[in-house]
């Protein structure tokens, strides 16, 4: 089954404790992206990757890092999480940068 | 860069009533347009998309949208709402690597 998986689905952590949210897709898509969803703001792009070893900033990259060492994986790293990063995070992938995106189920992160 | 405005944050309707969710976009170049649906506690799913060609596009679950270039709009419609349509709907516009989403419209269908 074609899908995008994210782990963990739920995470509660404390300020400053490094964490990684994993994202994997099995559709051989070149383009992958991370978004955060906040009430009233819709989805905002954090980072995206057009291919292996190619990443770029989206609209809200501050406080986040990503890497793309393999085509299927695109982890999101928070080196020192802060409470304003409490949000719902989605990973997505697509065949091309401007085609429809396939979304993971989301990761709800709470930073206290 | 393009931007997307969803004109209604909430749309309540009764079952079997028609539905219209409004979306306007701004862009100086040609773009691709999408509607996604998010059911509670789930990720986003594609409802329909406009890439080129016919301005009336049909999607899943009986939804359709019309691309209006002169009014820069891409409104989503359904002739008869069902309880199961209750969800959040997002309009999105893309050009190259730039994908923008609207703030979302919460559709509530009441019995």
Can you give the pLDDT at residue B66?
95
Q: What is the pLDDT of residues A21-80, one digit of tens each?
A: 999 999 999 999 999 999 888 899 999 999 999 999 999 999 999 999 999 999 999 999
Q: B97 vs A56: CB contact, 8 Å cut-off? A: yes
Q: What is the pLDDT of residues B6-31, one digit of tens each?
A: 999 999 999 999 999 999 998 777 88
| CB within 8 Å of chain A, chain B residues 61-90 | 90
CA B86, CA B69: separation in Å to the nearest integer? 29
Can you give the pLDDT at residue A40?
86
Of the candidates A58, A109, A56, the residue with the CA atom closest to the CA atom of residue A84: A109
Q: A33 vs B99: CB contact, 8 Å cut-off? A: yes
CA A59, CA A38: separation in Å to the nearest integer? 14
Assess B32–A contact: CB distance below 8 Å, yes or no. Answer: yes
Beta bridge partners of B95: B98
Nearest CA in chain B to A5: B43
Nearest CA in chain B to A104: B43
Q: Does residue A46 contact residue A34 with C-beta atoms inside 8 Å?
A: yes
Q: What is the torsional sign of CA B82, A38, B26, B47?
A: negative
Of the candidates B31, B23, B26, the residue with the CA atom closest to the CA atom of residue B63: B23
Choose from B44, B95, B102 for mutation: most chain A CBs within 10 A: B44
Can you give the pLDDT at residue B41?
83
β-strands B44-50, B105-110: how paired? unpaired
């Amino acid at each position: 089954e074609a899908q995008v998986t994210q782990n963990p689905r739920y995470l509660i952590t404390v300020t400053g404790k490094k964490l990684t949210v994993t994202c994997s897709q099995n559709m051989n898509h070149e383009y992958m992206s991370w978004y955060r969803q906040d009430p009233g703001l819709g989805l905002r792009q954090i980072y995206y990757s057009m291919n292996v070893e190619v990443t770029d900033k989206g609209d809200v990259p501050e406080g986040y890092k990503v890497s793309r060492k393999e085509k299927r994986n695109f982890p999101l790293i928070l080196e020192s999480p802060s409470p304003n990063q409490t949000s719902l995070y989605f990973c997505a992938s697509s065949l091309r940068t401007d085609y429809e995106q396939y979304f993971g189920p989301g990761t709800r992160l709470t930073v206290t | 860069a393009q931007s997307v405005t969803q004109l209604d944050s909430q749309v309540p309707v009764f079952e079997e009533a028609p539905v219209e969710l409004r979306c306007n976009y701004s862009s100086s170049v040609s773009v691709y347009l999408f509607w996604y649906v998010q059911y509670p506690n789930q990720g986003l799913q594609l409802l329909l998309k406009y890439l080129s060609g016919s301005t009336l596009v049909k999607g899943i679950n009986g939804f359709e949208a019309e691309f209006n270039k002169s009014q820069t709009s891409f409104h989503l419609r359904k002739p008869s709402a069902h309880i199961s349509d209750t969800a959040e709907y997002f309009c999105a516009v893309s050009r190259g690597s730039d994908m923008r989403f609207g703030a979302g419209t919460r559709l509530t269908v009441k019995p």
